[in-house]
A and B are shown apart, each in its own frame.
Chain A
Amino acid sequence: AQSVTQLDSQVPVFEEAPVELRCNYSSSVSVYLFWYVQYPNQGLQLLLKYLSGSTLVKGINGFEAEFNKSQTSFHLRKPSVHISDTAEYFCAVTFTGQNFVFGPGTRLSVLP
């Protein structure tokens, strides 16, 4: 069975500072990895995904993530955050391409 761990439930950071949101997964088979963002009172939307190929994946809004197979991690990074990045971020995995397992989420708060 697969599982996803997001160690930080809340991450406060000042505007224009860099941020890293951590994601680790557990799976006995190869997986596809995703980061989704949820703004208040909205559904989730895709930030980026890793299916194969380059381990560094670039997404929307200046976010990127790096797949590390040996450490079973897929951490999300942004070099300079904006107030508008305040949201909840979810890491997700699937090996079937259909049964997605989501992590518990990390609430990013960008402070002025």
Chain B
Amino acid sequence: DAGVIQSPRHEVTEMGQEVTLRCKPISGHNSLFWYRQTMMRGLELLIYFNNNVPIDDSGMPEDRFSAKMPNASFSTLKIQPSEPRDSAVYFCASLYTGELFFGEGSRLTVL
């Protein structure tokens, strides 16, 4: 199994640009999570899906952030417009039998 796959691994963009992060969960895992990791705030849950349906998006910082899961094998996290304070590592994880399986993360730098 290839594990949770995230792309891009690194993204450098300028303030105001749209950013789209992508995630492919492990096949058969029905729950998908998006986390953000920064030095200051640690690991924060942004949103999670069960069977492609968003369950809790209370961690999404503001309307500039949106997430979708059109099918069981794909999810996106979009930031529009991006700001320097969005710079962080964004992790996608899928859940199976009580264990979270994390991708390697997408490191976002907004200049």
Interface positions of A (Cβ within 8 A of B)? 32, 34, 36, 41-46, 49, 51, 90, 97-100, 102-105
Contact = CB atoms under 8 A, between A and B. Distances in A.
Interface of B: 4, 31, 33, 42-43, 45, 48, 50, 55-56, 91, 93, 95, 98-100, 102-105
A43 B48 contact: no
A44 B99 CA distance: 11
A13 B38 CA distance: 25
Given A43-B105, A97-B98, A105-B42, 11 more contacts: A36-B100, A41-B104, A41-B105, A42-B105, A43-B4, A43-B102, A44-B100, A99-B45, A100-B33, A102-B43, A103-B42
Contacts, number: 45
* Interface residue SS majority, chain B: strand
Contacts of B4: 43
Contacts of A97: 98
